Amino acid sequence: MSGERGPGVSIVIPCYNEEANLRAGTLTHVAIYAERADDVAEVLVVDDGSSDASRRLIAALAAKHGKLRLLAEPHRGKAGAVVAGIMAARAEFVLFTDMDQATPIEEIEKLRPLLTEGYDVLVGSRAGHRQGAPLVRKLMATGFVLVRRLILDVGDVSDTQCGFKALRSDLARRVVNQLRVFRPGVQQASGATVTAGFDAELLFVARRLGARIREVPVNWHYVGTRRVHPLKESWRGLKSLVMVRRSDMRGDYDRPAPTTSESDTPPSGEPTTGSAPRSRSDGSRVAAP
Ligand SMILES: Nc1nc2c(ncn2[C@@H]2O[C@H](COP(=O)(O)OP(=O)(O)O)[C@@H](O)[C@H]2O)c(=O)[nH]1
Ligand SMILES: [Mg+2]
């Protein structure tokens, strides 16, 4: 059995219209892996309103596999789904990964030895290898990294966007409560949105909170998606990076998080509906860059 003495891990998988991957058995594979791994406490699949058969398929699998749980959430996009998973996680660490298993769950084995070494955040990294990805996607990814570096300092992390990260759960919840652009509970989205700036804000805030962060090279293979438009997502991602930088310059991260009652406007960071100037909870107005 794997992970007999290690800290427990809750695996979180955001899901939006993943019928094809579900039918191909990606989640079954994770569920079987989880059953065999003593340290995996649970697999939380956060579905935020899929319009296909995803929810039904997940529920059917959850009935068969004890560690698998479906969290049904209102639609907020990937960031909101991951946040819901972090809030619900019961184990000491929370690992989030994608339904297409572009990084196979077995790669947890590369993180496992580090979980006992005092790290708070382990960041799966493709280390420049994007096996099977079309050239244009590789170029876009390189461009995103270069621009991201200019906008936001996240320390030594080179690949902020790989969907495979483990965080100490209590730290993850503190981080989530300090997010400004991807504030929990208020994200509204229509259609699939991977909210590309989320991981960067997460790492940015974790670092400010003094987290020990380490990047770990993991295997990753390209899995095409037609649900998410890469160009649109990269653009949205860059816009939200600028929002994080602005929030930082305004000192927002030094202040306690606004209470939920103040959060009745959509976050300024991730414009999912148009790019008109929006009101912020602090009364100032920002235009999307
Ligand atoms: N809950 C939720 N998950 C999403 C949404 N959009 C994407 N995802 C999930 O995020 C993960 C990554 O999506 P994917 O299409 O593989 O994006 P890519 O790898 O960045 O091209 C998958 O597990 C998706 O189901 C969304 O709007 N809501
Ligand atoms: Mg993918």
Q: Which of 63, 67, 80 is nearest to 15 (CA)?
A: 80
Domain ranges of the chain: 9-266
Which ligand is closest to the CA of 44, given by its number?
1
pLDDT band at 70 (very low <50, low <70, confident <90, very high): very high
Give me the pLDDT at residue 122, please: 98
pLDDT band at 201 (very low <50, low <70, confident <90, very high): very high
Least confident window among 84-93, 176-185, 256-265: 256-265
pLDDT at residue 288 above 80? no
Ligand 1 atom nearest the C-alpha of 195 is 6
Nearest Cα neighbor of 180 from 78, 256, 261 is: 256
What's the mean pLDDT when you consider all of the chain? Answer: 85
Output the CA 227–ligand 2 centroid distance in Å: 10
Ligand 1 cavity residues, CB under 6 Å: 13-16, 18, 46, 48, 77-78, 81, 98-100, 102, 163, 189, 192-194, 225, 227-228
* pLDDT given for residue 233 in this prediction: 81
Chain segment 276-287, per-residue pLDDT in tens: 333 333 333 223
Segment 225-255, tens digit of pLDDT: 766 677 888 888 899 999 999 999 999 999 9
For the CA of 141, the nearest ligand: 1
Ligand nearest to the CA of 98: 1
- Spell out a b/e string for 251-279, using b for 16 or more CB atoms within 10 Å of the CB, else e: ebbeeebeeeeeeeebbbbbbbeeeeebe
pLDDT score at 247: 95
Regarding pTM above 0.75, the answer is yes
Lowest mean pLDDT among 47-51, 64-68, 194-198: 194-198
CATH topology for 9-266?
Spore Coat Polysaccharide Biosynthesis Protein SpsA; Chain A (3.90.550)
289/134: higher pLDDT: 134
Give pLDDT, residue 33. 98
227 CA distance to ligand 1 middle (Å): 8
Q: Is the pLDDT of residue 49 over 80?
A: yes
End-to-end CA distance of the chain: 50
Does residue 219 register a pLDDT over 80? yes
pLDDT for the residue 187: 55
pLDDT the model gives residue 235: 87
